[in-house]
């Protein structure tokens, strides 16, 4: 996940926290905090959790713009693939406007396809442009080989910017 605001809200994927009894956030400096679930949405596969921000120097992510995303744009994906902490992979935007399946009966439109490695553990992490701005939330990999090599997908920033404030306001 990634820090949304200085009030302690953190964004991740719904499928990352779905069914969890306890949620722990570990920052890259090794500090950790227990988080509460604020809101989830199966249709967008997004969730918001919250930690008590006291004692943490939270730096909210900056949002990029959907209209600035283009095929060939260099991107990085951050996550913890296979439990390996603090991993950054790089690649390009391979396509835009993809529709990826959500866990419910809906699809997530306008998704970003990337060749940056998206593996189990990358879910919920940010897909960033070269300015370090959020352009998507790492969500899925599609592979014909039943392996973790294939095409990665991220939920686009415009959906994140629309859904997250509602989670914070209404759960």
Catalytic (active-site) positions = 15, 45, 123
Which residues, other chains included, contact 165 with Cβ-Cβ below 8 Å and sequence gap of 6+? Answer: none
Task: Quote the CA–CA distance of 159 and 59 in Å, as a whole number.
Answer: 21
- Pick from 104, 76, 78: which is nearest to 90 by CA? 76
3-state helix, strand, coil in the chain (%, to 5): 15, 45, 45
Phi-psi label, residue 168: left if phi above 0, alpha if psi -120 to 50, beta otherwise? alpha
How far is Cα 94 from Cα 91, in angstroms, rounded to an integer? 9
Residue owning tokens 């790089």: 90
CB 118 within 8 A of CB 153: yes
């Amino acid at each position: 996940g990634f820090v949304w605001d200085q009030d302690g809200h953190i964004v991740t994927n719904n499928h990352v926290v779905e069914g969890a009894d306890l949620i722990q956030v570990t920052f890259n400096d090794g500090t950790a905090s227990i988080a509460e679930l604020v809101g989830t949405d199966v249709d967008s596969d997004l969730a918001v959790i919250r930690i008590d921000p006291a004692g943490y120097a939270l730096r909210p992510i900056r949002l990029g713009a959907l209209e600035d995303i283009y095929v060939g744009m260099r991107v990085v994906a951050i996550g913890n693939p296979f439990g390996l902490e603090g991993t950054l992979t790089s690649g390009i935007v391979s396509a835009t406007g993809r529709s990826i399946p959500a866990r419910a009966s809906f699809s997530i439109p306008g998704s970003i396809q990337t060749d940056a490695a998206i593996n189990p553990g990358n879910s919920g992490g940010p897909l960033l442009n070269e300015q370090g701005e959020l352009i998507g939330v790492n969500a899925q990999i599609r592979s014909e080989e039943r392996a973790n090599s294939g095409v990665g997908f991220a939920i686009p920033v415009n959906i994140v910017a629309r859904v997250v404030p509602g989670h914070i306001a209404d759960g």
